[in-house]
Amino acid sequence: MLSVAISKTAIAAIDRVCYVNCESLGRIEISMHRLVTMLTAACLAFAAAACSTASSGSLAVGMTPDQTVQAMGPPDLKDSISDPNHSGATVLRYAWVDQGKVAVFGPNDKVASVQQMEPTQKVQAQSEAEQRVTPPKPFDPIQTPLDYAFYPFKAAVIYTAAGLNCATGALCQKPTLPNPQN
């Protein structure tokens, strides 16, 4: 019986009427239920539009390094290897461990070959990427808890900015979040 009374009270609160004053349209009468429904639909539409335009990331032969970064995001590992076609020359190689892809560039700075990583190569590439990471800052008893407390807000701002970039037709890629201690 109590839940029915609470439900009736909640419905009565939602069905109240709001008045919105608008200079050009005058006074607009709108129910709270309709206002909440419209705001929810607008938020869902924005989220669907932002998620649907994100690129899945594909590599193609002939792409430049900038185009590969736009398509796949920043690589997990960048290095130079000896050119398989020529002796003595070195070429650029980008590796994306999570996607399992490797792009080997030719001497003209265009993708010469796209390869799939084997599981053993993924483990090796991850260990190389981890070795290149700088050591963490020393623990600060005041700043470190504040960094972790405000990290969700920092991540929300970064993801919102990335969604707005994508919605405006700019670069669409998953944003990389910084370390909480930075």
pLDDT tens column, 89-127: 788 889 888 788 889 888 888 998 888 877 666 667 777
27 in a structural domain: yes
pLDDT tens column, 40-87: 887 777 666 665 544 446 888 899 999 998 988 888 888 888 877 776
Looking at the fold, whether 124 and 172 belong to one and the same domain comes out as: no
pLDDT of residue 24: 59
Q: What is the 3-state composition of the chain as percent helix, strand, coil, each rounded to the nearest 5?
A: 45, 20, 35
The domain in which residue 146 lies consists of 135-182
81 in a structural domain: yes
Closest CA to 115 of 106, 124, 102, 105: 102
Looking at the fold, whether 120 and 140 belong to one and the same domain comes out as: no
What's the sign of the alpha-carbon dihedral 152, 175, 123, 179? negative
Taking the model in full, what pTM does it have?
Answer: 0.40
Looking at the fold, whether 40 and 81 belong to one and the same domain comes out as: no
Query: pLDDT-derived band of residue 11, with 50, 70 and 90 as boundaries?
Result: low
Looking at the fold, whether 97 and 140 belong to one and the same domain comes out as: no
pLDDT tens column, 25-38: 556 666 766 767 87
Task: Report the residue count for the chain.
Answer: 182
The two tokens of residue 50 are 């932002």
**Into how many domains does the chain fold?**
3
CA distances from 8 to 62, 132, 137 (A): 65, 60, 55
